[in-house]
Amino acid sequence: MASFQWTEKPARVLAQGGVIAPDERLPWPQTALMGVQHVVAMFGATVLAPILMGFDPNLAILMSGIGTLIFFVFTGGKVPSYLGSSFAFIGVVIAATAYAGKGANANIGVALGGIIACGVVYTLIGALVQATGIGWIERMMPPVVTGSVVAVIGLNLAGIPIKNMAASNFDSWMQALTFVSVGLVAVYTRGMVQRLLILVGLILASVVYALLTNGMGLGKPLDLSGIAAATWFGMPVLVAPVFSAPAMLLIAPVAIILVAENLGHIKAVTAMTGRNLDVYMGRAFMGDGVATMVSGAAGGTGVTTYAENIGVMAATKIYSTAVFLVAALIAVVFGFSPKFGAVIQAIPLPVMGGVSIVVFGLIAIAGARIWVDNRVDFSDNRNLIVAAVTLVLGTGDFTLKFGQFALGGIGTATFGAIVLYALLSAGRPAVASDATAASSR
């Protein structure tokens, strides 16, 4: 447990614009509040992904908490990260199960077997990185690639709040009011309120939504009846995996996308904190892989380091791993509580959409920050083409089909960035780093 100790920083550090490092923490009450904010930030996508695949959202929340605890143990509490449902699985799961897109997935067991296979591949890659170092991974995925992949995740998700979370003109205006509320909190408040910008902005927008709908009849009223009807405690329904070779072959390659996501996450956190976390890369991959296997074995979705939480860290400058330990424990408790699910489900969809616009945008900016902090040289046509093509592939959701296998936008962008960089680097002299090349010029 010695490796799980943090240096406590007083709350006044926040008022002075200070940064809370991974091995530091605020007093526990403030740390708990930050944990709640991270749970809220990840909830929208962590619940949306299983719904799109026909999985149980409450079980997905539970397994995201358990997965985060597994990741915490594997990395020795050194890497700030939350594991949530990965969108990279959606296309292949739908293809493997022939899911119709509504209600429970009747063929979910086949998907779970594939998710476990993906976790095995991911864990083996992590073990190889741990044994041989990250040099070959970095050569395959330099900053121009990882920055592009991280940015693409945010840009690819951008269509979700814009297209699916605003059914009327009123809803669109509520989305705008929500991200303006978050922006006002971010700029004009100080201390803990400023660090809780996502949560505070969401609450403010929800209150305004209730006044405009329930009070003035301008939109769909805020419905709290589901909260009253839900029980405080309930066991999620577990599902056994079915190991089908075609489904496993279809889903297992998603491990490469998860590697790129996790690599980009760690590079983004390294850039934000100024601390080199590369030494934990292999352990992070293994932790994520084992968490994916455990989730799949119980009936949950494949998990990955969560980009939404990068956005929250970027905005709050609080990188303490203690926050993610608290968030994981909260998610485990809430995973057993249908009432929690009802509370989140009661959040107006356009309000959640406005928050998602902010968070997904912060993810995209985190990718750009990888370029800036590593001084990626865009006068080099190789870097220029790799970044340009990757961003358009991911944002446009470019899809390639290989028989029944469909590789969607995030997948084509990830593999495209890796393959294109390797192709354009063939025969070129090795360069120490983009930063070194830029400074020499």
Q: Tell me the C-alpha distance between 96 and 278, whole Å.
A: 35
Higher per-residue confidence, 352 vs 164 = 352
Q: How confident is the model at residue 436 (pLDDT cuts 50, 70, 90)?
A: very low
Tokens of residue 69, six digits: 């605890």
Q: Is residue 14 part of a domain?
A: no
In a domain, 393, yes or no: no
More confident residue, 62 or 359: 62
258 part of a folded domain: yes
In a domain, residue 204? The reply is no
Select the highest-mean-pLDDT range: 60-64, 97-101, 156-160: 60-64
Residue 183 placed within a domain: no
Query: For residue 307, what are the domain limits?
Result: 21-162+219-375
Per-residue pLDDT tens over the stretch 288-340:
999 999 999 999 999 988 766 777 787 778 888 999 999 999 989 888 888 87
Characterize 221-258 residue by residue with b for buried, 16 or more Cβ atoms within 10 angstroms of its Cβ, and e for exposed.
Answer: ebeeeebeebeeeeebeebebeebeebbebbbbbbbbb
In a domain, 83, yes or no: yes
- Whether 304 maps to a domain, the answer reads yes
Phi, psi (5° rounding) for residue 318? -115, 110
Asked whether residue 380 is assigned to any structural domain, the reply reads: no
- For 4-39, write each residue's pLDDT tens digit: 678 777 766 655 567 787 888 888 888 888 888 788
Residue-wise DSSP of 102-151: SS--TTHHHHHHHHHHHHHHHHHHHHHHHHH-SHHHHHHS-HHHHHHHHH
Is the pTM value of this prediction over 0.95? no
Give pLDDT, residue 192.
58
Domains: count for the chain: 1
CA–CA distances in Å: residue 77 to residues 4, 6, 36, 305: 6, 10, 19, 14
195 falls in which pLDDT band (50, 70, 90)? low
